Each structure stands twice: as structure tokens, then as C-alpha cells.
Amino acid sequence: MKIKEASFIGSFVKPEQFPEDIVPEIALAGRSNVGKSSLINTLLGRKKLAKTSGTPGKTRTINFYRINQHFFLVDLPGYGYAKVSKKERHSWGKMIENYLAERENLREVVLLVDIRHDPSEDDRIMYEWIRNQGYGHLVVATKADKLSKSRQMQQIRRIKTKLAMPEDATIIPFSSLKKTGMEAVWDLLKIHLEA
Ligand code: GDP
């Protein structure tokens, strides 16, 4: 994918704030610190477009990026913080639910998991949620540079089993550090964007 233009549109919480443009949209989900912002920056070839972990307020908003005037990439708030109250969990869930319900042009929700670890309970719940909405054909396993090629393959198989992924779903090992997996991710995203 040739990125001619990539811009940050804004951080939103409520459906009435979401952009009204009728363009295809791809959302990215995953626990905080999984490498979601790094992946967005890597995919778009921009160093600091998506703010990485530690940016105050970032975790509680839905962040929209417009690419080539043609589609949106959407960064969903990360989950899995240890210190999150029940109330915060609830409002996080509501935010995602509203988002999924509102976006008619949402083509795919990609789940990011850390290739080194078995999916957490939250990852499994999130994936089930995504699947139940009819998405989840693509899972990206981040930080692939931290494992050897053979360990990567082992973990991919494990993650696929633990998430109970269907046969037609794909896991792509990805590294923002080494910039590997980019082509494979774009190839699959393009299929959804052009469908
Ligand atoms: P987010 O919270 O999901 O947006 O995660 P970030 O993109 O902010 O990344 C969290 C941490 O993981 C940062 O310290 C990154 O430098 C690191 N990280 C992200 N992607 C990679 C990767 O592909 N390889 C390695 N080794 N570290 C990564």
C-alpha cells in the first residue's frame, strides 16, 4: 500500500463525535502495551502519528486516522490494565459497543496479541466479541522480533488454538522494530477495503 497521506483526525468517545465520512474503516484492538500505536506508525510509515503508550488520556479514547483520503484506521482503547475500576471497565465496554454498533462502514476489526504470550482472558473475550460481530479474520502477533522464526511458528499455532480461531482466519507475525509482516497485513487489509 502506498501511503500518500495519513492524518490524525481526532480522539473521540461518543458516537456523535465520530467522523461522518462514508469511507471504509478498519479498527485495531488489543491490550495496552501490545504495540498497537507502533504498528499503526509502522504501517503508515510515520514515526509519531499514533501516540505510543504513556500518553495521558490516550487509553480512554477511540482515535481516528484518515489514509489517502480513502479510508480510516481506528485505534480502539487498549484493555488489560490491572488497576481499572469496575466502572471504568464498564464505560470502556460501552464505548467499544457503541463504536461497533454505529460504524456502518467498518470492514474488519483486527486483534493484536503479543507473540510471546498466550492470549489473556481479556484477549479471548475481545476476540469472541469481535467474532460475534462477524469480524476477526485477521489476528496480528506483535513483537515477532523477540522470538526466533521457529518459536514464532510454535506460538502462532498456540495462539490460534487458544483463541479457538476458525480455519479461514489468519495470524500474521509482525515486528514494528524490524518492519516485518507489513506486506502481509496490507495485503489482507486491502481485500477488506476493496470488498
Ligand atoms: P500500545 O499501548 O499498544 O499502543 O503499545 P506501543 O506501540 O506504545 O508499544 C508498547 C511498547 O512495546 C513500547 O515500549 C514499544 O517500543 C514496544 N514495541 C512495540 N512494537 C514492538 C516491536 O515490534 N518489537 C519490539 N521489540 N518492541 C515493540
* Backbone dihedral angles phi then psi of residue 88, each to the nearest 5 degrees: -65, -40
Whether 119 and 142 have beta carbons less than 8 Å apart is answered as: no
Q: Residue 180 Cα, ligand 1 centroid: separation in angstroms?
A: 14
Whether 139 and 170 have beta carbons less than 8 Å apart is answered as: yes
**Residue 112 falls within a domain, yes or no?**
yes
**Residue 30 falls within a domain, yes or no?**
yes
179 touches ligand 1 (CB under 6 Å): no
pLDDT value, residue 59: 63
pLDDT in tens, 105-130: 999 999 999 999 999 999 999 999 99
Domain count, the chain: 1
Q: Residue 89 Cα, ligand 1 centroid: separation in angstroms?
A: 23
Grid coordinates belonging to 181: 509482516
Residue nearest to atom 17 of ligand 1 (CA): 35
32 touches ligand 1 (CB under 6 Å): yes
pLDDT in tens, 140-195: 999 999 999 999 999 999 999 999 999 889 999 999 999 999 999 999 999 999 87
**Residue 1 falls within a domain, yes or no?**
no
Residue nearest to atom 21 of ligand 1 (CA): 143
180 touches ligand 1 (CB under 6 Å): no
Q: Which atom of ligand 1 is nearest to the CA of 174?
A: 23
120 touches ligand 1 (CB under 6 Å): no
Grid coordinates belonging to 59: 487509553
Question: How far apart are the two ends of the chain, measured CA to CA in Å?
Answer: 16
What is the predicted ipTM? 0.99
Q: List Cβ neighbours of 51 (8 Å cut-off, separation of 6 or more).
A: 37, 58
Read off the CATH number of the domain in which 82 is found.
Answer: 3.40.50.300
pLDDT in tens, 129-141: 999 999 999 999 9
pLDDT in tens, 46-94: 988 988 766 554 568 899 999 999 999 999 998 887 677 888 888 888 8
Q: What percent of the chain has pLDDT over 90?
A: 75
**Residue 144 falls within a domain, yes or no?**
yes
Torsion, Cα of 53, 58, 59, 64 (10° steps): -110
Q: Residue 141 Cα, ligand 1 centroid: separation in angstroms?
A: 12
pLDDT value, residue 79: 87
31 touches ligand 1 (CB under 6 Å): no
Q: Residue 35 Cα, ligand 1 centroid: separation in angstroms?
A: 4
Host H or E run for residue 37: helix 36-44
Interval 28-38 mean pLDDT: 94
Grid coordinates belonging to 28: 485495531
pLDDT value, residue 53: 64
Domain membership of residue 168 as a residue range: 6-194
**Residue 187 falls within a domain, yes or no?**
yes
